[in-house]
A and B are shown apart, each in its own frame.
Chain A
Amino acid sequence: MIPVRAYWRLLRKYLRPLRARVVLLAVLLFTGIAFQVVNPQLIRAFIDGAQEGADMSTLLSYAAVFVLLAVGHQALSVTSTYFAEQVGWTATNEMRAALAEHLLDLDMSFHKTKTPGELIERIDGDVTTLSNFFSAFVIHVVGNSVLLASVIFLMWREHPLIGIGMTAFALVAGLLMIGLQAVAIPWWRAVRGKRAEFFGFLGEQLGGTEDIRANGAVPYMMHRFTLIHREWLPMEVRGRWGFSMLWATSIAVYVFGLALVFGLGSRLLTAGTITIGSVYLVFHYTELIRHPIDQIRTQMEDLQKAGAGIARVEELFAARTSLPEMGTRHLPDGPLAIEFDGVSFAYRDEASDGESVLEDVELDLAPGRVLGLLGRTGSGKSTMARLITRLYDPSDGVIRIGGIDLRDVERADRRARIGMVTQEVQLFRATVRENLTFFDERVDDERIWQVLLDLGLGDWVFGLSEGLDTMLESGSGGLSAGQAQLLAFARIFLRDPGVVILDEASSRLDPATEVLIERAVDRLLENRTGIVIAHRLATVDRADDILILERGRIVELGPRRELAADPETRFATLLRTGMEELLA
């Protein structure tokens, strides 16, 4: 059966702020339902009148009232469309934003399993199915049920037998529709799941056309397109069965009513219990309940889809981050100390068997010092960076920043004070300003220009057709790797953190351009604690300390000058022989 309580909770949560509009909408819709009942009566009165030869003025006034009511009804329906759309969009937008926020808060292990394309469909597509649920569902179902109940009440007045028959039948039909509605929810849920899978697939394809084309994989990807659609088609067809079953029920209800009128009516008439006029009236009422039944049926069809959407949305809301944000403490001002106290870490997902990426790492970096982090690909360097930025929590041990356990630091504070630049620079299709501030409108232009000038980007932005308002393409389109990298630096500068991590930040730059960036890096590390991850020795020239990682363990740690001076150390060997020996 449908989880009525869950639906109610949702309605309350998202409609409460819209209370006034919902009430107005309810009034409009109820009035509309009343109009629908009255208008056919008028036509009937008119026809009866014409048949009985009523005088022309009476007929004219019937016609005039009919037209007036019809026009009024239309005005009402436009107004209620407007309010229903307002309520629907406002409520679903609220839900979209809440869902997006919730998903952004989930940890990286969640995002490693979900493609952006799939999340687009889940946040935008699934939620959209709820629009009618929020704006009109309850009102329509309640309104039409009231209508139905009053017609049945009128039947009771004609004859108890007819009343009992219709009541029993309406109850059975209602329960049947509710039951059938619930039966189809998992079917639609499967459709929505498949849709999300397809859009996830599609997003990847659209982002990887170059790889696919140049490696001759187009036929294969089209084949996968076909495979997804082959699974999708039967699901869609099955979902339609849900609709069909509801519709069949409503046809059966109507026909049963008709048969009841025929059978019972003729019998009672013969017995002399009721008049022919009553039989006609009952017949007329049967016609009258057709409309509310159809309305309820349409709403139930919609609820089949909405129910599937609700279930999928709730499922996402139920996902919990493994990194709860409970911290309330604030980091001290200025450069921050970094301390690793017996830290071990293992990724727990399919791509790794839980083997430790970091093992018992001990590090004590004083505020303002710069640490050069060296090691081969996969030695755990980037993992250290991800732990310091709390993208993950250590499996064992404690990380302290500025002397405070990282888990106890308030989130906003942590994000503001710990900055990281990676080699992947993600740009948004938005203006230069929005790219620099992540759409934060509170950052003023003066400060942005200051940072751009400091980084030597001033001339470039000044030369753009619309300066800070110039649109950038998404991905890295339109910018050279060097420019993108400098923009990433500018993002960090704007926040003025106490810790800066550069994770292979300059590796995509050619050596000549890298020299130009050196100055920017110097500025960035000035009076901050820094961690510079590199596989090029020149990059760690500015480091005070050197740490060499191998398979997740520290194999060397110490002040750079001391290590360089001692010919026995790995670092000194590296310096002598170049990077070739790093493997040793």
Chain B
Amino acid sequence: MIAKDIPTAQLGLGLIKYQRGRYLLNVLTWASIWVMPMIPALITKAFFDRITGEATAGFNVPTLVMFVVVYAVGRIAVMFLGMWNDAHLMFRIGTLMRRNMLERIFELPGAQSMKESPGEAISRFRDDVDENVESFSWTVDMIGLFVFSGLAVWILVGIDGTLTALVFGPSVAVVYLAAIARHRIRRYREASRHATGRITEALGETFGSVQAIKVAGAEPSMIAHFRMLNDRRRVAAIKDKVLTAMLESLFWNTINVGTGIILIVAAGAMRTGEFTVGEFAVFVYFLGFVTDAGFFLGLFIARYQQASVSFGRMVELMGDAPPMRLVKPISLHLTGDLEAPDVVPPHLAPLEVLEVRDLTFHYPDTDDGIEDVSFAVPAGSFTVITGRVGAGKTTLLRAILGLVEPQRGDVLWNDEVVEQPAEFFIPPRSAYTPQVPRLFSMTLMENLLMGRRDPETEVKDAVASAVMEPDVENMPEGLATLVGPMGVRLSGGQIQRSATARMFVRRPDLLVFDDVSSALDVETERVLWERLFRERSGVTSLVVSHRHPALQRANQIVVMHQGRVAAIGRLNDLLATSPEFRALWEGEEG
């Protein structure tokens, strides 16, 4: 299921290195929290020695009571420190993984960034991160336990080497058992995670299309489908959990049987006098810790497999980035001063001419796409790309802007090949409005600026150019109106024009519009182009449209047909020479 080999250990180590100091503190605090209960055992021994009169020189009872209280205060203090540090540590490594994933997704070509639907991806940001943060916290307990059991072993060997070897026997068996079960653990975990992904995906899609479902009266069947997915996860999750429980049991049983053997051997030794009662008591006391360590080790192997599954799912989300990217150390700025980023990069080379040469892109496993597309867009021009549905208009825009990765061909900015189009085609060079633009759950103003700090007057100008000002005037909160999730509080046309205004605010050299006509009536579209020419003169526009007002204004029309350029020219030339264009033009008139 997972294509790449996942360097689970390196990823884990990467996380440890990232939070070295906190990790060390965590190991120290938690090791003490587990070891400290030895203290009341010693105090109790002193107490009984005292009251039975075996020790008359030791501490008196009130002092012992005081010791107990001091112990409690000390342990509680260490525990609070440990919890506090642990909360910080775990939160930070979780945040690091989430941040690196999101950052990487933004780096990928936007339009084909994820194979997974957003809902599915959310389960990787949520469950897989949570899962691995938990596994990570286990390593802390592991280390504490091993340090302690190391000490214990050292003491035990001093008492009886053979017995100590017997104590360790079961631990070896446990590790062996865990290793055998490795593949099954992985498989069950993958199935369970996959089932969860399907559920988050279904929920995301359902609540992303509430209106369609309501109108279709499809609630019962959607819920039935959701129940079915839930049921599948129940089965997968129970398999996963019960397997882990069985392994745990197996580990304990191995250890229990081992303990039984040790008890018998030790008892025999004691009866023959090779073994004092005191030694026996120590043995039995430490035995618990050493077997715990064996148990934890066995479980850790199982956890390791599960962590590897989660790492795999997260790495998979990041396209072909190297796996270590997931734990790349970066500052999270979770505390201290935080400055909003400067999102206005310097502009070095104003557009003179944009050229597309032999651009070719095909979606994987299909014939859809574009083939050998070449044309030039001079600065200040208005270029319209037109063609039938499926002719490759949107794909062409995406290929130029680096939102998909072309298989062949170049895009040139002022005669220079753009090597990294996805990083290059951003404001102030260019801005883009997709066919179905997305707004985000913020105020309209925040949606337009997206971190820029332009004065409100400029934003208002942009809103006016986008023919959006009457709408904004009608909103009681004006630009401070919350637009709702993905902008749903606005109408389709308002979203489209907001996205257009968002582009204008950025004042790029090149404006790229993908078919504004789907949400705007002809009149509004005409006014939009008119204002674009009047108020934003000098700007270069690359527009997908089939509407007359756009075609009439075009300096150049690129007619696409089945992924290739069928004709290029001005309106009148094309009407005379291109039958394909004539069909489109006349269809529009109806």
Contacts and interface: CB of A to CB of B under 8 A. Distances in A.
A222 B103 contact: yes
Interface residues of chain A: helix, strand, loop or mixed (majority): helix
A225 B121 CA distance: 16
Interface stretch (B173-181, B426-434, B458-466): B426-434
A187 to B, nearest CB: 12
Interface in A323-345: none
B141 interface: no
Given A104-B206, A536-B522, A85 B69 contact: no
A86 B241 CA distance: 11
A88 to B, nearest CB: 9
Contact of B208 (A85, A116, A419, A507): A116
Contacts of B219: 101, 104-105
Given A81-B242, A112-B485, A218 B106 contact: yes
Contact of B493 (A78, A378, A475): A378
B211 A108 contact: yes
Contacts of B250: 74
A81 B51 contact: no
A211 B215 contact: no
- Classify chain B's interface size: 35 or more
Contacts of A108: 210-211, 214
Interface string A34-69: 000000000100110111010010011011101100
Contacts of A475: 117
Interface in B390-433: 390-391, 398, 401, 403, 422, 425-427, 430-433
A197 B19 CA distance: 26
A320 interface: no
Contacts of B584: 510-512
A193 interface: no
Interface string B333-366: 1110010111101000000000000000001001
Interface string A499-538: 0000010011111111100000000000000000001111
Contact of A70 (B91, B121, B210, B256): B256
Contacts of B455: none
A42 to B, nearest CB: 10
B572 interface: no
A210 B403 contact: yes
A163 B237 CA distance: 46
A263 B277 contact: no
Interface string B20-42: 00000000000000000000100
A438 B590 contact: no
Contacts of B65: 259, 262-263
A276 B51 CA distance: 8
A508 B517 CA distance: 7
Interface string B259-290: 11101101110110000010011001000000
B201 A474 contact: yes
B481 interface: yes
Interface stretch (A18-26, A232-240, A399-407): A232-240
Contacts of B2: none
Contact of A202 (B84, B125, B422): B125
B373 interface: no
B160 interface: no
A496 interface: no
A215 B117 contact: no
Most chain B CB inside 10 Å of its own CB: which residue of A63, A202, A439: A439
A236 B87 contact: yes
B119 A203 contact: yes
Contact of B68 (A262, A265, A440): A262
Contact of A377 (B121, B489, B512, B520): B520
A243 interface: yes
Contacts of A439: 218, 221-222, 224-225
Interface in A531-584: 535-538, 541, 579-580, 582-583
A350 B119 contact: no
B503 interface: yes
A512 B587 contact: yes
Interface stretch (A7-15, A92-100, A150-158): A92-100
A158 to B, nearest CB: 15
Contacts of A201: 441
A437 B204 contact: no
Contacts of B490: 351
Given A77-B245, A85-B242, A237-B87, A206 B121 contact: yes
Contacts of B270: 50-51
B324 interface: no
A484 B253 CA distance: 59
Contacts of A219: 341-343, 451
A440 B221 CA distance: 5
Interface in B202-255: 202-219, 221-227, 230-231, 233-234, 237-238, 241-242, 245-246, 248-250, 252-253
9 contacts: A56-B271, A78-B246, A81-B242, A211-B499, A218-B106, A222-B106, A240-B84, A350-B482, A510-B584
Sorted nearest first, the 9 A-B pairs with minimum C-beta distance are: A415-B217, A511-B587, A220-B451, A538-B590, A438-B218, A426-B209, A353-B476, A208-B438, A70-B256
